[in-house]
Amino acid sequence: MRLHYFFTLGLCLLFSAGLSAQDVKFGGLDKSPMDGAYYPSRSRYLNYLDEDDKDRTMKIRVLYSRPKMQGRELFGELIPYGQDWRLGANEATEITFFQDVEINNVRVFRGTYTMFAEPVNATSWIWKLSKERFIGGSQDRDVSKDIVSAKIDVIQVPNARESFTIGFQDVDDNTIHMFMEWGNSRAKLPININPAFMADDDPSPMDLVQYPNMSRLRNFVKPEELAANEPKVRVVYSRPQLKDRVAFGELIKYGELWRLGANETPQVFFFEDVMIDGKPVKAGRYGLFARPEADEWEFVLHKSYQSWGTPNFDEESTVLTFKAKTEKTPEKLEALSATFVEMGDNTIHLIFGWEDTMARLPITLK
């Protein structure tokens, strides 16, 4: 009985395996096989390159299919003039930029896109870059997702290339050319791999306060008042906004070091020697941090002024610290704010305020 059971089970398993194998379908070799083009071309061999090899970092990768001529007339017939072409066959050609580039004066951010070309005539194409992905060819594509369009030159070369091919050429330190060649036609797209960096509007804009206030506008000061408006102290800082958040105790944890703003560390410029809490401070540039508590802030004047916040903060580079009791601001401050207030006897207060809290750093001038 047991033998019969195992025999039957074995037949069932064998039969099931046979059915599963028959259900598996493998694709054959495509008549327009897929290929890759890379810049730098040697970057695909990363595991063979030395650590200091300049070609280790891949900057551009293109995945495309390579149709063959097979005696056909290509541009103007197989690929009509005035219509978008997928730059290959099968799926739309995919290009990945591993860094920001610039094409036809348009900044293209790192990422993966599809690219097309509209052959105009034998000497020019319109090359197009799209954010739309995962489409077969160019039919019914969403042209509203195109982000770059560039008219590019096409030359006729003497030796016809049987398979469509994409490659790259170095021009100089800033520019490369991407070539697209099929038959006797060779198109060239310039790509700037070192585009100018243009920052967007910052959500925590930079600002400055200076004492005396008119010392930053000396061309508007009367000649007889110039001496009284020599610059003494300047603070350059970024101004984050609340945006319905709670600043102190939540966004900025009590007892933790804070950059007194956002982005770069605030910079304090003393144009002459000063005194803070009875301690001499030499003229120069410093970084300014704070360690807020519920009822007081500890200001930290630091030698590090070229930094982005508090990571890797070096306590040994601290110039001085000063603890100041917090006060209520006259009104709620949406953005972090700084100002100077004259207190007499050559003393000024540098006051930082945000939300409903402010603290003062007393500075004695010469």
- Are 176 and 169 contacting, i.e. CB atoms less than 8 angstroms apart? yes
List C-alpha distances in Å: 34 to 58, 129, 166, 189: 19, 20, 12, 21
The chain-wide mean pLDDT, for the chain, equals: 94
Contacts of 88 (CB under 8 A, 6+ apart): 32, 64, 65, 66, 67, 164
Strands (E), 40-105: 60-65, 94-97, 101-103
Give a yes or no: residue 199 inside a domain: no
Last residue of a domain, one of 164, 192, 220: 192
Give yes or no: residues 95 and 188 share one domain: yes
State how far the Cα of 192 lies from the Cα of 197, in Å rounded to an integer: 12
**Of 67, 64, 68, 69, nearest in space to 34 by CA:** 64
Question: Highest-confidence range of 48-52, 54-58, 336-340, by mean pLDDT?
Answer: 336-340
Contacts within 8 Å (CB) and 24+ apart, 308-316: 308/263, 308/264, 308/265, 309/259, 309/263, 309/265, 310/257, 310/258, 310/259, 313/257, 313/289
**Between the CA atoms of 61, 65, 70 and 76, what dihedral angle is there, to the nearest 10 degrees?**
-80
Count of domains for the chain: 2
Give a yes or no: residue 25 inside a domain: no
Helical (H) or strand (E) element with 19: helix 2-23
Give a yes or no: residue 3 inside a domain: no
Give yes or no: residues 156 and 45 share one domain: yes
Give yes or no: residues 46 and 146 share one domain: yes
Give yes or no: residues 251 and 338 share one domain: yes
Give a yes or no: residue 23 inside a domain: no
Give a yes or no: residue 69 inside a domain: yes
State how far the Cα of 349 lies from the Cα of 366, in Å rounded to an integer: 14
- Going by DSSP bridges, is the β-strand pair 34-39/60-65 parallel, antiparallel, or unpaired? antiparallel
**β-bridge partners, 310:** none
21: helix, strand or coil: helix
Tens of pLDDT, residue by residue over 104-129, are 999 999 999 999 999 999 999 999 99
> Would you say the C-alpha torsion 300, 304, 306, 309 has a positive or negative sign?
negative
State how far the Cα of 230 lies from the Cα of 227, in Å rounded to an integer: 6
Give yes or no: residues 40 and 82 share one domain: yes
Does position 257 have pLDDT exceeding 80, yes or no?
yes
Tens of pLDDT, residue by residue over 318-339, are 999 999 999 999 999 999 999 9
Give a yes or no: residue 6 inside a domain: no
Give yes or no: residues 233 and 341 share one domain: yes
Could you say which DSSP state residue 91 is in? B
Give a yes or no: residue 296 inside a domain: yes
Give yes or no: residues 155 and 231 share one domain: no
Give yes or no: residues 224 and 178 share one domain: no
- Give the domain extent around 121: 34-192
Q: How many CB atoms lie within 10 A of CB 164?
A: 23
Q: How many CB atoms lie within 10 A of CB 165?
A: 16
pLDDT band at 200 (very low <50, low <70, confident <90, very high): confident
Give yes or no: residues 50 and 185 share one domain: yes
Give yes or no: residues 242 and 321 share one domain: yes
Last residue of a domain, one of 130, 159, 192: 192
Percent of the chain whose pLDDT exceeds 70: 94
Q: How many CB atoms lie within 10 A of CB 225?
A: 12
Give yes or no: residues 173 and 222 share one domain: no
Give a yes or no: residue 4 inside a domain: no
pLDDT band at 4 (very low <50, low <70, confident <90, very high): low
Tens of pLDDT, residue by residue over 284-326, are 999 999 999 999 999 999 998 889 989 999 999 999 999 999 9
Last residue of a domain, one of 192, 221, 238: 192
Give yes or no: residues 141 and 254 share one domain: no
pLDDT attached to residue 17: 52
Tens of pLDDT, residue by residue over 266-279, are 999 999 999 999 99
What average pLDDT does the segment 171-184 reach? Answer: 98
